Amino acid sequence: MLRRLLAPRVQAHAHCDLPCGVYDPAQARIEAQSVKGCMEKHNASDDPEFRQRAITIKEARSNLVKEHLWVLWTDYFKPPHFEKYPQLNDLFNQATKLAGSGGTKGTCDVAVADDLLAKIDEIAEIFWETKKA
């Protein structure tokens, strides 16, 4: 009797932790564009102090890219998405590695930043397809 009195009267179900409007791959893309900009400014400068600041900012922004991607990967995308888009796990793995020490954190090669932006664009394309459903 007590259990029945304390049981919830209404059950709510949601497919994500918060309203879906909080998730957007644009956040990762903006940070990745900042990474690329820092690389370009670093490569164009002869000032060692300026170059060091550019690297420091680039590395911090690279971490933010990874964080934004991880939130999408772990909080937004659910098993049905991974079933429909079997390449999604590998795509996130590649993108986060491109933002890591073997990628934009470890180099000032603008081509690596371009590769990262391309991966984020692929993720964004899938993300927006899932929003249509």
Q: What is the pLDDT of residue 10?
A: 66
Give the confidence band of 3 by pLDDT, cuts at 50, 70, 90.
Answer: confident
Query: In the chain, how many domains are there?
Result: 1
CATH of the domain at 31: 1.20.120.400
In a domain, 14, yes or no: no
In a domain, 30, yes or no: yes
Reply yes or no on whether the pLDDT at 13 is more than 70: no
Reply yes or no on whether the pLDDT at 50 is more than 90: yes
Q: What is the pLDDT of residue 81?
A: 96
In a domain, 9, yes or no: no
In a domain, 74, yes or no: yes
What is the mean predicted confidence (pLDDT) over 22-26? 90
In a domain, 17, yes or no: no
In a domain, 62, yes or no: yes
Instruction: Give ∠ CA 128-131-133 in degrees, rounded to 5.
Output: 125
In a domain, 6, yes or no: no
In a domain, 83, yes or no: yes
Q: Which domain holds residue 72?
A: 22-132
What is the mean predicted confidence (pLDDT) over 113-118? 98
